Structure 1
């Protein structure tokens, strides 16, 4: 059954009972009502950096057209840009925490941008124990509403949780001190691309921002990823187009404009070139 389309992709806001820009809670899906379940199973984004510690049960989730079946104990980090929805769940208990850019330690924000997008991580017993104990303490802080430093307690404890998870993800990837010059340039480019893909489409503009030549930027990116700078720009734009085509009722022309293309026919040709089908064909295919 296809989910009902809406004009734009919904953005779920973090709870406001915990202090501005920070939320920490423990949830049992068995306690969910119809409204909460419908909200979780509808495609949406979060308005913050969100983390989910699966303590019990299993859950199937779709993240940007990729399906994952997650079993406890596992952790997953969700960047605000990512569109996701719950497909199925069984006997689930999850602890979650969310934090806005303003409250997030800048060092951790940089780490999160570097590791996005992430996949769910199955946790070893010792790692799960450390994170779950930290979560339990943080949840106790949410009960200290009369404390004059209430928001600071939540903000700091949430940053600790972020650090624990981010460090675990970083362990799975190449450490920074082992990165080659090509790797470093590619990471810097991808970070710029994530911020600017709707307004900057020329490889030369990214090279200029990084204070290097366009050929050298292409050499670094191609050496690291096997693809050109233009390829990555196009893929990022098309991913967002797919999200909007699948999860919203915006017209192709509206989507083209939102993604920075005043030349609608050009955007249509680009989408077809990258995906092998027209934007309307993609939308209709996913309505089946």
Structure 2
């Protein structure tokens, strides 16, 4: 691992992809790509991967995944990740920013995040592979008069195929219960507000329901109360900063909205079973 920076490394799209879209097909022999990928980082764009051959090992937010072909992988902009190992893989990838995403797809991606790698059957692998090939061909045809619009449309079609696979693994929208819908709305609100908003009552107010009813919905669907999810989201961000930056625990506490550094330290210890410094030292041994 390289030396820690003051904040989590964020990789933007390269300057040559000034339209906010990059798509291509790569073997693991692309050493430049693999060397960059082995260090933990996050993107400022959405990352879609179709693994066509081989086996890869990813670490995404401290969770390790062994991925065998054929599989799809979606990594959201806020997720910290790296490639641990790759064995004879070939993959297609799409990087795309928010501005080029269909608004409905952006909302659905926020709902399914964090998403685990997903294996594909032969039928869906063929369809997604062919759509990737179309996107790659359009991406390379820069002389087309409708270059950006056709590229954007084809990439959004590809993203819809990714989403369809993830949504098939969960309940369909028209089959969701009232508890499901409220829990999804809470999780989306939590992702967007966890730094400034820590009280269950504030989330209940945002959703125009009572605290007991919000707790009932969330606990019925997830098995845990609202306060648990708030704490877990904060602690995940704290772990990211402890591992990937050299900020002090006090600085991290302040960044996550805790003026009372001692309270944050107790919360981290209670939630993880170790102090923040122990977590940092343990994971950098």
Q: Indicate the TM-score class for this superposition, using the shorter chain for normalisation.
A: over 0.9
Can you give the 5+ residue segments of structure 1 that lack an aligned partner in the other structure? none
**1:3 shift after superposition:** 4.9
TM-score (norm 1): 0.95
Q: 1:134 aligns with which of 120, 131, 134?
A: 131
Q: 1:144 aligns with which of 141, 144, 151?
A: 141
Residues 199-247 of structure 1: per-residue CA shift (max 9 Å, x gap): 1111111111101111111111111111111111000000010111112
**1:154 shift after superposition:** 1.7
> What pairs up with 1:30-45 in 2 under 5 angstroms?
30-33=29-32, 36-45=33-42
Instruction: State yes or no: 1:94 paired with 2:87.
Output: no
**1:146 shift after superposition:** 1.8
Instruction: Give the match's secondary structure for 1:221.
Output: helix
Matched with 1:158 is 155
Instruction: Give the match's secondary structure for 2:100.
Output: coil
Can you give the 5+ residue segments of structure 2 that lack an aligned partner in the other structure? none
Instruction: Give the match's secondary structure for 1:17.
Output: helix
Matched with 1:212 is 209
Q: 1:201 aligns with which of 171, 183, 198?
A: 198
Distance (Å, rounded) in 1 between the aligned partners of 2:258 and 2:118: 37
Residues 104-163 of structure 1: per-residue CA shift (max 9 Å, x gap): 111111211111111111111111111111111111111221223211122111111100
Matched with 1:20 is 19
Distance (Å, rounded) in 1 between the aligned partners of 2:259 and 2:253: 7
Matched with 2:79 is 82
How many pairs does the alignment contain?
A: 285
Instruction: Give the match's secondary structure for 1:30.
Output: coil
Quote the RMSD (CA, aligned, Å). Answer: 1.3
**1:183 shift after superposition:** 1.1
Residues 233-268 of structure 1: per-residue CA shift (max 9 Å, x gap): 000000010111112111111111111111111111
**1:277 shift after superposition:** 1.0
Matched with 1:125 is 122
Instruction: Give the match's secondary structure for 1:89.
Output: strand
Distance (Å, rounded) in 1 between the aligned partners of 2:223 and 2:122: 37
> What pairs up with 1:1-288 in 2 under 5 angstroms?
3-33=2-32, 36-288=33-285
Distance (Å, rounded) in 2 between the aligned partners of 1:112 and 1:249: 31
- Work out whether residues 18 and 142 of structure 1, in 8 Å CA contact, stay in contact via their aligned partners in 2: no
Distance (Å, rounded) in 2 between the aligned partners of 1:3 and 1:71: 28
TM-score (norm 2): 0.96
Distance (Å, rounded) in 2 between the aligned partners of 1:123 and 1:223: 30
Q: Using a 3 Å threshold, how does the CA distance of structure 1 residues 4 and 38 change in structure 2: closer, same or farther? A: farther
Instruction: Give the match's secondary structure for 1:154.
Output: helix
Distance (Å, rounded) in 2 between the aligned partners of 1:64 and 1:114: 17
Instruction: Give the match's secondary structure for 1:142.
Output: helix
Distance (Å, rounded) in 1 between the aligned partners of 2:21 and 2:51: 19
Distance (Å, rounded) in 2 between the aligned partners of 1:43 and 1:163: 28
**1:15 shift after superposition:** 3.7
